[in-house]
A and B are shown apart, each in its own frame.
Chain A
């Protein structure tokens, strides 16, 4: 455990001096813009409409893409010039390196979600919505959306470890993110499609009236699928990394 904390602190240092965290600003800012331009529908809950519109692009496109970028970026320094060799010749277990890198990605995604929450709060203030504050919905969307990114983060981290190229995992990520628009229309595929899990978690449940996204899968079942795929991808990445020849 002690070594793990040390590896984590070392990873944090490497990332803190990069400007990667700036990327967390983009999507929440765009979402804020969308939020400010949203016209609240008369018959629906203002908060719910706001969350649905704001999280649409955020969770459908940007969140999966950001997940890929963070995962790629966190492996980039090691891929350049034999960094894996020097990192893994230090007294560290590969499991702790993998887990530390994953946690940094997860933390960056959490930061993105918090900023998104900030955007949501600002937009709802500006809109002057007078409804009881939607604690349940917010918790579900923000935290649920974050958790739903984790299987994808584990998968993308695996790809990023596999390919020395910075771009290859990103290309794969974008190729699989774009079909989200179609995949979310299929009841059968979408819960299992890692790139489409964030949007399903973030869009409020009963917002059928604002579009075609009436996800009939309950939040609980979705989370079970998410956790299941997380365990699968994380374990696969970990086993691969432990066996890899450096």
Chain B
């Protein structure tokens, strides 16, 4: 039980009889980055709001850091940092004053403010009113606020939403260093797989309020394991030669597509083809992108 930082059991939230989130079992292990994926409107933010105690679940329980959210909310929130949807800030205050407003509630030493500003590299801008900040800077300030209480768990809802590529990169690097350098478990939600796959160890994919996939990113990648496309002069007869050697594949036009071969098998297949007078124009590795898998996983549910 305690190895999970977040564990939900049959978490459900319904609005007027319609389930926004249904029967969700999240399992997030200590020290990992968990990518919470799903298209817009799938229920990610609703789930996160339940995790933070902002809304009450219709059914189900939430365990965070080994404690029940319902009975221990304040103690849990003390150990969780969060950024939900937009970075919220008080525009008329400077970054330092913004953090001070939060620091007073968290009751951490004043030195933490400089520390978190350093982490998100806002030290230089810290004396400026936040309303003049760029979106990327505001987002970094949001992360700084989330880190202020030295949390054990960081919950970030769409932290790169609306950022330009360099901003996205900065935030991603920032998130990646959390478990490594500060031992923080991170839950990061996004509707873009490409963004999450570069930092997450485990992903949960949610669609229409239901979890459709929850496993490590490498297992998701395995689903994506592709094959080899060999462009040959005579695809049909090449396919027969391959079948003779016990390799199954498909021939389309002048492409022979084979799957699940290791390097040696590929080499011997190519040699066999060449020895039999086939011309080989190209040997290409064809991987399904994670994006394709993502769409497949989402699509599977849609077609049900």
Contacts and interface: CB of A to CB of B under 8 A. Distances in A.
Interface of A: 3, 6-7, 9-10, 13-14, 17-18, 77-78, 80-83, 85-93, 245-246
Contacts of B107: 6
B88 A82 contact: yes
Contacts of B92: 17-18
| Residue of B78, B86, B88, B92 ringed by the most chain A CB atoms within 10 A | B88
A82 to B, nearest CB: 5
B147 to A, nearest CB: 13
Contacts of B78: 91
A14 B101 contact: yes
Contact of B49 (A3, A83, A85): A85
Contacts of A81: 86-89
Contacts of A10: 101-102, 104-105
B54 A91 contact: no
A161 to B, nearest CB: 14
Interface of B: 49, 52-56, 74-75, 77-78, 80, 82-93, 97, 100-102, 104-107, 142, 145, 149
Contacts of A3: 74, 105
A16 B83 CA distance: 25
A3 B107 CA distance: 9
Given A9-B104, A13-B97, A82-B85, A89 B52 contact: yes
Contact of B54 (A13, A17, A85): A85
A135 to B, nearest CB: 39
Contacts of B82: 86, 89
A245 B54 contact: yes
Contacts of B53: 88-89
Given A6-B107, A17-B92, A85-B52, 10 more contacts: A13-B100, A14-B93, A82-B85, A82-B88, A83-B88, A86-B88, A91-B74, A91-B75, A91-B78, A91-B105
A86 B101 contact: no
B93 A91 contact: no
Nearest to B83: A86
B44 to A, nearest CB: 14
A91 B89 contact: no
A6 B53 CA distance: 20
Contacts of B83: 86
A81 B135 CA distance: 12
Contacts of B80: 89
A90 B77 contact: yes
Given A86-B83, A246-B54, A6 B105 contact: yes
A90 B88 contact: no
12 contacts: A10-B105, A77-B91, A85-B84, A85-B88, A87-B88, A88-B53, A88-B54, A89-B84, A90-B105, A92-B77, A92-B105, A245-B55
Contacts of A86: 82-84, 87-88, 142, 145
A82 B86 contact: yes
Contacts of A88: 52-54
A17 B93 contact: yes
| Residue of A6, A9, A13, A87 ringed by the most chain B CB atoms within 10 A | A13
A13 B101 contact: yes
B70 to A, nearest CB: 14
B77 to A, nearest CB: 4
Contacts of B74: 3, 91-93
B88 A6 contact: no
A92 B54 CA distance: 12
